[in-house]
Amino acid sequence: MRIDPSLTQAGLSPDQLTGGDLPVTSPIDGTEIARLHQTPVSEIGAALDRAEAAFHAWRTIPAPRRGELVRLLGEELRAAKDALGAVVTLEAGKITSEGLGEVQEMIDICDFAVGLSRQLYGLTIASERPGHRMMETWHPLGPTAVITAFNFPVAVWSWNTALALVCGNPVIWKPSEKSPLTAMATMAILGRALERFGDAPDGLVQLVIGGADLGEALVTSPRVPLVSATGSTRMGRIVGPKVAERFGRSILELGGNNAMIVGPSADLDMAVRAIVFSAVGTAGQRCTSLRRLIVHESLREGLVKKLAAAYASLPIGDPRESGTLVGPLVDKPALERMQAALEQARAEGGTVHGGEVVAGVAGGAYARPAIVEMPAQSEIVRTETFAPILYVLGYDSLDQAIALQNGVPQGLSSCIFTRDLREAESFLSAAGSDCGIANVNIGPSGAEIGGAFGGEKETGGGRESGSDAWKAYMRRATNTINYSDALPLAQGVRFDI
């Protein structure tokens, strides 16, 4: 096994990368790039001991001071952007600009969280009782488990960790077994920030590497009040009930089956650009990837031709090479699931353009992105396949288009391309898209950190990143202060003794 230079440039030593029993392969060429030591599940108890001790110290530190650690993390990420981005590309198969973009997303959420550390606001509420003041206060919640997926191996951790830290919570991170190297590199970067910070408690942020048994231990422990888990709907069906059973909280970011409606007045050139990036970026392995294209019948045939021509021009290959726009799927099983989905689409009446396995490209799991014209929203269209497959459906009326858009179990991201104000506002209204993200004249992927990220239905209902998503990481207390010399009861109750 040859250790890739990008790993050592990111601060990982050969001793960290060899001698273990967890093989890590690069989707670029399928070769093994590390063998890591896994965290024994028996050590989770000690990790929780450290996290609880850290919580007792960290929660008493003023939030702006906690924000200083996140500011330092942002500085270290800026300095290490190229190195960490290269590891994202090596381990997740993203093209170079997307790997760098993921690190930029980490930097951006650090900036957001630093400001947030001075804005953890509560309310002052009018009391019905004279001489009383009512208010709400927000307090740290406790150790937070962050379970992340391979496709955004570091950005999702940063969304959770930056907010958890300023809110007063320690973090235990369990990355996907497919992308632990980016996690290790990130912890090295965080270590530099912690050293500069100076007085952070031991165990404030911990990393555990391994399989589902580690996740199970964190998910079922009553010592973990909050579990943030990103992954498939299947995973969420396991995690959600187990956390709920012990009355814990969960932030679930699960599957997406995202659609774009293209109306008769749409700017088609702009729509084509948005469709291609949203559908084939990250080789279709974003939770917000475009998977369903719902096109007005007057435009359908012409738009499919434009897309087919655009798809034919896409450079496919090693994501590290300049000009490559489509890299590999994460592994051979993902490629097999893509091919099986295309076969099912054919069986359900679909006409497939593209989708062929690309042989001889660096040795990884490469395929041409596929456009599939479907006669109806069949079972395979309603199923999320984590691959660059775009199903195309036609519609006649906006109501029909919105019904198709909403007619799937998932509810993450959605969009409409239109220059008709009525269509745009209808799509954004209560009777429009039922997703957590609804856009006009931009694609469904590439969300900014300023807005809360997440979705409805089988997407899990969780919210991360911006807006008031911070509230999920804290506990709320309603306080009443009596500054009078009387003791009136609420609702006019009299209880004289």
**Whose CA is closest to 205, among 189, 229, 221, 223?**
189
Angle 63-79/81-92 helices, nearest 10 degrees? 80
Residue 479 exposure: Cα atoms within 13 Å on the Cβ side = 13
Residue positions counted in the chain: 497
Instruction: Count CB neighbours of 78 within 10 A.
Output: 13
Enumerate residues 6+ apart whose C-beta is below 8 A from 455: 253, 254, 256, 410, 411, 412, 413, 435, 436, 437, 461
Task: List the catalytic residue out of 110, 167, 287, 435.
Answer: 287
Q: Strand runs (DSSP E) across 212-257, as ranges?
A: 226-230, 249-253
Phi, psi for 93 (deg, rounded to 5): 80, 15
The CA-based angle 197-202-203, given to 5 degrees, is 115
Secondary structure of residue 138 in the 3-state scheme: strand
Is 189:78 a contact under the CB 8 Å cutoff? no
Radius of gyration of the chain (CA): 24
Task: List the catalytic residue out of 68, 76, 253, 464.
Answer: 253
Which phi-psi region, left, alpha or beta, contains residue 168 (left: φ > 0; alpha: ψ -120 to 50)?
left
**Whose CA is closest to 87, among 185, 188, 14?**
185
**Whose CA is closest to 153, among 77, 95, 102?**
102
Which residues sit opposite 250 in a β-bridge? 227
**Whose CA is closest to 374, among 397, 404, 403, 330?**
404
Enumerate residues 6+ apart whose C-beta is below 8 A from 441: 267, 270, 415, 416, 417, 418, 424
Residue 121 is encoded by which pair of tokens? 């606001």
Q: By 3-state DSSP, what share of the chain in percent is helix, strand and coil, each rounded to 5?
A: 40, 20, 40
**Whose CA is closest to 61, among 121, 139, 135?**
139
Q: Does residue 287 carry a catalytic annotation?
A: yes
72 vs 472: CA distance, rounded Å:
24
Residue 366 is encoded by which pair of tokens? 């490469």
Q: Does residue 98 carry a catalytic annotation?
A: no
411 vs 409: CA distance, rounded Å:
7
Is 291:391 a contact under the CB 8 Å cutoff? yes
Phi, psi for 356 (deg, rounded to 5): -70, 150
State the catalytic residues.
Answer: 253, 287
